[in-house]
Structure formats: structure tokens, C-alpha cells
Amino acid sequence: MIEYIILPDVDFSELRLLPHYRQWLVDWLKSIEGEVEDGVISTSLCVQGVLAEILIYGKCRTDWNGILQVYLKNDLGKPLAYSKEYGKKLYRFNQWEQSPIHAVYAHWWIEKLTGASKKELSSHSHFIEELVQPSGWIYNPEVSKTNPRTRMKSELMMSLAMGIEILTYHDSVVEKKGLFEALLSSVPMTGYLSAEYFRLRALDYLGMIHLAPSNVSDVITICEAGEGFCDFSIASKVDDYMGTAKRVSRDKALHSAISSLHANYIAARCGSDIVNMVNSKLRAFGKHLLSRPFDIQAFRMRDIDVPFGTDVSAFEVMGASYIVSKWKDYDETRTTTNT
């Protein structure tokens, strides 16, 4: 199975693309060829390139791992999120040379997929161990010195889940397991689908899913939007740190293929009523996408820059294709109870 954490349950070795999504990905790969050759690249683009080629050709045609080694490592061999040339394109962003957790994870994932051994991958695990904070959060303070209390929970949970997956794979999680469990069980419900998805993902890696908030299914019901789900509820939008209402007059709750898959992952760990509700919603979403295949929105994790950019990306197209292929023929009478 080939899976990437952003799109839960999608097996890229088995997913069959609808023709219009396949063509979009073919065109997208062609559109980035020049920049890739010139070293204008990010780790996220590399991940999407790997997955796009697997879906289209059944294997990688581009040496994405070689691109990582040449353009996306610093002088000390640490993974970078952006190449030097890519950094020049970022508006008013001079600190391009950085190693956030999502970049470490992308390097580790691509290297593992392309055949690196556990021993060869161990440097990533050691780096993650160095970035485990006394609080249990996993982040690189050199990227941002922001206090964890004021960091967005979606960003923190994503980094934590990615770090725990790496540590678990390398049998290095035992020493910190209690710390991670205490943290994950103590953080109140966030109200963001992405944050709760990554929380459950981390708990699944630890084998401690019972530590999830008892009301975790509430985040699904409040985040229904359009034909599917969005990452957060406009009605309850508040500042993550101050708890005060934010300006929402221009905000719209837009369905997202990625958020909808996060909702499905959470639902699978809830009762049958929630499972049925989400499946019914995604069945309708799948039918909607059959008639309007590009009615998909750029994924948003509220108030933070998601690592794969601000426009609709290959990830959304892949997620939409999965929703259509899985749910367009969904039959509620075949739903299994998971309580």
C-alpha cells in the first residue's frame, strides 16, 4: 500500500483516476518540468510529483529522491522545505532555509518509498528525537520561536503525527510514549477537522485510540460544508489563542476533498450513526464531482500556510478522484457498525 498522511486511506498503488483528473495531473507535471530542472522546487512538490507519476505511470519516472539530495538539503545534510531558487520566489520571505517537521517527513517518506533501508533513514529519526520538546510537541524552534500556546493546533498536531510515525517506524517511540499520550489526551477538542484527524492518527500509531476526546465526532457535524466538509466551522470561528471572535464577514465554508477524507477517518473511529452520516454525505459529494469534477477548493488549515501551497494542488485532485471512485456506488445497507 502506498499512502501519504495528508490523504488518509487512499492507496495510490490501487487508485484509478477518472480521465479528467488524469489529464489535470499530466498537465500539472508538464507545467512544473522547467522549474524542477532549474531547482525551483519544494519538498511538497516532490511528494505530489511522486504520487502523480505513480497514479499516471504506475511508477516514478523522475528521480525525485535525487532532486531532494541536490536541492533540498542544507550543508549539514538536514532536510529543507524549499530550495534556494524556490525561496527567492517567496514574497518577503528571506528565511527560506528551514527544516520544519513536514519537510523532514516528506524526505523520509520519499526516501523510504524509493528503497532506502531503515539504517539509511535513521538520520531522520534522530533529527525528530532532537526536536521533541519538553511539552511533548514536536517542532523545530529554529523555524519559529512562537510559543506552543499561540501556535495553531492543526499545525502542531500535524507535526506531532508525522514525528510519531517516523519514531514508531524506527522503534524509537517507547521512551517518549507516555509524554505523547499525556499530551494528546490533555489537549481539549479543537474544533478543526485537520487537528482532530492528526490527533487520531498519532493515537493510532501509539495504539492508544481510546485516549481520543469522547466527543470527537462533534467536529464532523460542525464542519459540514457545501457538498462535503471543511476544516472548521465558520459559526464557531474564534481566535485559537485569545478565544475571541474573529472577523468572518468575508469567510465562506467551502467543501474540501481533503477535509472530507479527514472526516471519514474520524468517523471510522466513532459510532455507526456517524459512519452512515459521513458515508451518505460523501456519496452525494462523489456524485456531485462526477457532474462537476473541478468543484474542488484549495485545502485550508485555518490561519496557517499549509505546506503544499495556497492554490488547488495535486493533493485535492487526488482526493477528489478517490471520493468519486469510492463513494459514487456507496450503499448504506452495507455499512458495518464500528462502535
Q: Are residues 257 and 278 in the same domain?
A: yes
Q: Are residues 77 and 97 in the same domain?
A: yes
pLDDT of 249: 42
In a domain, residue 161? The reply is yes
In a domain, residue 26? The reply is yes
Which of 198, 216, 234 marks a domain boundary? 216
Q: Are residues 233 and 327 in the same domain?
A: yes
Q: Are residues 327 and 228 in the same domain?
A: yes
pLDDT of 304: 40
Q: Are residues 43 and 133 in the same domain?
A: no
In a domain, residue 184? The reply is yes
Identity of the amino acid at 191: G
pLDDT of 26: 97
pTM: 0.88
In a domain, residue 338? The reply is no
Q: Are residues 4 and 77 in the same domain?
A: yes
In a domain, residue 337? The reply is no
Q: What gap in Å lies between CA 89 and CA 264, rounded to an integer?
A: 36
Q: Are residues 208 and 229 in the same domain?
A: no
Enter the C-alpha cell of residue 143: 523555524
Q: Are residues 102 and 182 in the same domain?
A: no
Written as one string, the DSSP assignment of 76-136 is: T--B-SB-HHHHHHSTT--------HHHHHHHHHHHHHTT--HHHHHHHHHHHHHTB-TTS
pLDDT of 254: 81
- Alpha helices by DSSP H, 9-98: 19-37, 43-57, 64-71, 84-89
The residue ranges of the chain whose pLDDT is under 70 are 91-95, 146, 148, 150, 234-253, 298-311, 329-339
Which of 216, 232, 259 marks a domain boundary? 216
* Residue 128 to residues 83, 159, 164, 231, 327, Cα–Cα distance (Å): 21, 10, 9, 27, 37
Q: What gap in Å lies between CA 159 and CA 101, rounded to an integer?
A: 6
Q: Are residues 233 and 168 in the same domain?
A: no
**Mind listing the pLDDT tens digit for each residue in 215-236?**
999 999 999 998 999 998 766 5
In a domain, residue 126? The reply is yes
Number of domains in the chain: 3
Q: Are residues 20 and 63 in the same domain?
A: yes
Per the prediction, the chain carries an average pLDDT of 87
Q: Are residues 195 and 132 in the same domain?
A: yes
Q: What gap in Å lies between CA 6 and CA 144, rounded to an integer?
A: 22
**DSSP code at position 63:** -
In a domain, residue 74? The reply is yes
The range of the structural domain enclosing residue 4 comes to: 1-111
Which of 55, 76, 111 marks a domain boundary? 111
In a domain, residue 63? The reply is yes
Q: Are residues 31 and 92 in the same domain?
A: yes
